[in-house]
Structure 1
Amino acid sequence: MLLNKHVIVGICGGIACYKAVDLVSKLQQAGALVDVVLTEKADEFVRPLTFATVSHRPVYSDLWEPSGEAAENHIRLAEEADILAIVPATANTIAKLAHGIVDNMLTAVALATQAPLLLAPAMYKHMYTHPATQANLALLRERGAFLVEPEVGRLASGAIGPGRLPDTETLLGAIKLVLGKKGDLAGCRVVVTAGGTQEPIDPVRYVGNRSSGKMGYALAEEARDRGAHVVLISGPVSLPVPYGVELRRVETAAQMQAAVFSAVTNADVLIMSAAVADFRPAHPASQKIKKRLGGGRGAGEGENTGEQATDGSFSLHLIKNPDILGELAQMQDLPRRLVRVGFAAETENVVENAKDKLHRKQLDLLVANDVTRSDSGFGTNTNKVTLFHANGVMEDLPVMPKTGVAAAIWDRVVSLLS
């Protein structure tokens, strides 16, 4: 996504500018061409050499240097830029941009460029909430600028409130989102499911699986980076929420079914990468089941969660969960053509089981993997998948990071949409 993108990072004179060092470094590591432009006060917080070291490129700051090269540089930078991200954006610079004031290198580049403008404000809480700052931000948004809202937290002054610069991952997500506005999924609404489900036995225990959600979250981020509006329906996972993605949390298969059926009514694509439990306890206990009592007795009046044998073993009564993709295949009243992609996590007979699922659930594409492999199982950062197409084509992809698998899947979905 960021490879060979020309990203200009504007740095204003605020204490939060030290965080921009990590952002510039991460952009460079992702393959972006990063040019840093400092305001005259920013280099009193972080020296230009620091940014030059992590960007591997010159740093620009003085519009009035005697050689006259800056006059050419600000135009060159403006014309070459794919995006101008001002991180942090101070109240002073925001006011200048809103009213077209050009008195330094950064504001000159900002006024000259046709690239999208991304602002990440960071300042004292009352400066951010001041009507003047809010009016300036509103004016810039009306003109097409994108805003990364500051976080509420502890500020440099020691106060607690809005004005804290978000972390690097959030800023990277915002930059990718803006760069992807003209991607090959622009205008599409996609639904991605991720993670496993948890079916309660009692308020303490549940029936679950080993899914980490990493594949689904990678799919959601890739779709966002291509310009799609993404609804991510996630079971319980320990992953950060991708920036710019609409997250809907669920726990059980029934909750996921309801969320999916609601989301697909105006969607173009559904990718079911979640590991949905096939079975659930028939009668979850309302209170914790005690080992000494066993079964549902003592867990709640009239409950029959399971049965305890005389040897102390316990049998749990399970019933089938709804088949979300199977039921979707039978629905005739969807308002538009829905591209459907399923996943099959197998431990044996991968090809046979995948082909059966593909046709039985009327999918356009099925992604199958052998979860017994060490490089393709639950929780890994890589995946080894085989793609099964509705027309009978089978693609065996090499082991690659889950981000790469996500890109490959969306490449095929884009072809199906077109």
Structure 2
Amino acid sequence: MLEGKKVLLGITGGIAAYKTAFLVRLLIKAGAEVKVILTESAASFVTPLTLATLSKNPVHLDFIKEDEGTVNWDNHVELGLWADLMLIAPATANTLSKMANGVCDNLLMATYLSAKCPVYFAPAMDLDMYRHPTTKTSIEKLESFGNILIPVASGELASGLEGEGRMEEPEKIVELVQKHMRKGLPLEGKNVLITAGPTYEAIDPVRYIGNYSTGLMGVELARKAAALGAEVNLVLGPSSLVINSPFITLHRVTSADEMYKAAIGVYETSDVVIAAAAVADYKPKTTAPEKIKKKSDVLTLELVKNQDILQTLGKSKKSQFLVGFALETENELSNALTKLKKKNLDAIVLNSLKDKGAGFGGVTNKVTFIDKNSSIKSFDVKTKAEVAADIWKEIIDRLHA
């Protein structure tokens, strides 16, 4: 949700300011570009050098900047217009009152009053200050302006008291901001199931039958679904890819049987299902308990069919929108249409290994999207992230039709 977003972080003078170094790191890790405004008192708790180093941007302290004999004006209007969202954390009782009443006596307040973007604020103060009627009034007033409150946490406070008033932890702040940003997105409230990657079918403890799939296409589909507001279950076969999203529940599996069990476990509660995994069609009839020794020039393996996960999902489909993938090397369109009908799919995504830039192992793909009404739409070679966006657009168009 924060990928590519411009976040303006305002830090005011409370002890909770020490947490903002971690907050900046998390925002950067989530893909945001971060600029920081410090109030004069906040600089007593966390240094501009620390925040500038972490954010990779100069820290803004005051309207006037004196540098090597030159004087520059820090433009609060430009800062306010730059931001996709503004986050004030910690927001002290003093700052809350200023925000609520339009008191403009520092760079942060001037920028807040100039901002056109959503503004989030995370209060932090001692228990009695938080309970004071003026603090409650300030918060209610700010919410009436459309500002978004990040509620305080309870716990030990700097004064030694126990209770409400702690600024929420940085991880929770980022999570709450992202959840709020998802409101009104096309897949808000939808549960999505995606299978991705290869399966490995064990021959013995050290060998397996597998394929060249990396899982990247399915992972990009999961990332895009989360960015569009969905809660995602990603069933991922053996893959080195790392998933970092609070909106993607990762189920790591190895074999086709494990993938089947994981997919069936969440299928009933899923609204959209995309079977992008390259599941092995066959597995060894028996798995040797010990490493098979090289005793002859020929090794014969007896293989048996794996359960067809996609066909099983198609047979038990109720209201789910079910999408399959077809990787073909000949009679591509004909084979894809047959698979679409045979497996009771709503749509199928066709790859041809004859197309340059398509298939396993690379960062690009070239697909054709076919729905159950035989509507066919082909796309050029694109990155798999861009392909995922195209696929989701086609699905969403049909969900809302």
Paired residues in the alignment total 351
Alignment correspondent of 1:74:
112
- CA change 1:114–1:349 in 2 (3 A) is same
SS in 1 for 2:182: helix
TM-score for the superposition, normalised by structure 2: 0.72
* Counterpart-to-counterpart distance in 1, 2:171 and 2:347: 35
Whether the 8 Å CA contact 2:127–2:161 is kept in 1: the answer is no
Alignment correspondent of 2:218:
216
Identity of aligned residues (%): 31
Q: How much has 1:242 moved relative to structure 2?
A: 3.0
Q: Which of these residues, 280, 284, 287, is aligned with residue 287 of structure 2? A: 284
| Worse overlay, 404-413 or 51-60 | 51-60
Whether the 8 Å CA contact 1:193–1:216 is kept in 2: the answer is yes
* Counterpart-to-counterpart distance in 2, 1:320 and 1:370: 24
1:92-124 deviation digits (Å, cap 9, x = unpaired): 679899668999xxx9x9878635456999xxx
Q: How much has 1:146 moved relative to structure 2?
A: 9.2
Whether the 8 Å CA contact 1:119–1:146 is kept in 2: the answer is no
Whether the 8 Å CA contact 1:24–1:54 is kept in 2: the answer is no
- CA change 1:385–1:315 in 2 (3 A) is same
Alignment correspondent of 2:38:
38
- 2:299 corresponds to 1:314: yes
* Counterpart-to-counterpart distance in 2, 1:372 and 1:118: 52
- 2:368 corresponds to 1:330: no
Give the partner amino acid of 1:387.
F
Give the partner amino acid of 2:334.
E
For residues 165-180 of structure 1, the aligned pairs below 5 Å read 176-180=178-182
* Counterpart-to-counterpart distance in 2, 1:383 and 1:93: 52
1:185-205 deviation digits (Å, cap 9, x = unpaired): 111111111111111111111
Which 5+ residue runs of structure 2 have no aligned equivalent?
Answer: 61-74, 81-85, 89-93
- CA change 1:66–1:48 in 2 (3 A) is farther
- CA change 1:22–1:288 in 2 (3 A) is same
- CA change 1:24–1:255 in 2 (3 A) is closer
Alignment correspondent of 2:398:
416
SS in 2 for 1:8: strand
SS in 2 for 1:182: coil
Alignment correspondent of 1:195:
197
Q: How much has 1:373 moved relative to structure 2?
A: 4.5
Give the partner amino acid of 2:241.
L
- 2:261 corresponds to 1:225: no
* Counterpart-to-counterpart distance in 1, 2:129 and 2:380: 48
1:240-272 deviation digits (Å, cap 9, x = unpaired): 123111111211111111211221111111110
Give the partner amino acid of 1:37.
I
* Counterpart-to-counterpart distance in 1, 2:307 and 2:179: 35
Give the partner amino acid of 2:183.
K
Give the partner amino acid of 2:236.
S
Whether the 8 Å CA contact 1:382–1:402 is kept in 2: the answer is yes
Alignment correspondent of 1:114:
146
1:335-380 deviation digits (Å, cap 9, x = unpaired): x401001111223332222112111112111111124555223232
1:285-322 deviation digits (Å, cap 9, x = unpaired): 11111113xxxxxxxxxxxxxxxxx5x12121111111
Whether the 8 Å CA contact 1:375–1:382 is kept in 2: the answer is yes
Whether the 8 Å CA contact 2:216–2:384 is kept in 1: the answer is yes
- CA change 1:407–1:58 in 2 (3 A) is same
1:20-51 deviation digits (Å, cap 9, x = unpaired): 379459424xxxxx653335224444366976
Which 5+ residue runs of structure 1 have no aligned equivalent?
Answer: 29-33, 151-170, 293-309
Whether the 8 Å CA contact 1:196–1:212 is kept in 2: the answer is yes
* Counterpart-to-counterpart distance in 2, 1:54 and 1:209: 50
* Counterpart-to-counterpart distance in 1, 2:198 and 2:395: 23
1:202-252 deviation digits (Å, cap 9, x = unpaired): 111111111111111111111111221111111111111231111112111
* Counterpart-to-counterpart distance in 2, 1:71 and 1:238: 46
* Counterpart-to-counterpart distance in 1, 2:237 and 2:225: 19
- 2:9 corresponds to 1:9: yes
Q: Which of these residues, 362, 378, 403, is aligned with residue 344 of structure 2? A: 362
Q: How much has 1:400 moved relative to structure 2?
A: 1.7
For residues 335-346 of structure 1, the aligned pairs below 5 Å read 336-346=318-328
Whether the 8 Å CA contact 1:13–1:43 is kept in 2: the answer is no
* Counterpart-to-counterpart distance in 2, 1:66 and 1:417: 48
For residues 39-118 of structure 1, the aligned pairs below 5 Å read 39=39, 40-41=42-43, 42-46=46-50, 52=57, 58=79, 71-77=109-115, 80-82=116-118, 84=120, 114-116=146-148
* Counterpart-to-counterpart distance in 2, 1:289 and 1:120: 60
SS in 1 for 2:373: coil
Whether the 8 Å CA contact 2:329–2:354 is kept in 1: the answer is yes
- CA change 1:390–1:205 in 2 (3 A) is same
- CA change 1:85–1:209 in 2 (3 A) is farther
SS in 2 for 1:315: coil
- CA change 1:263–1:276 in 2 (3 A) is same
SS in 2 for 1:416: helix
- CA change 1:197–1:35 in 2 (3 A) is same
Alignment correspondent of 2:68:
none
- CA change 1:94–1:253 in 2 (3 A) is farther
Q: How much has 1:184 moved relative to structure 2?
A: 0.9
* Counterpart-to-counterpart distance in 1, 2:134 and 2:4: 29
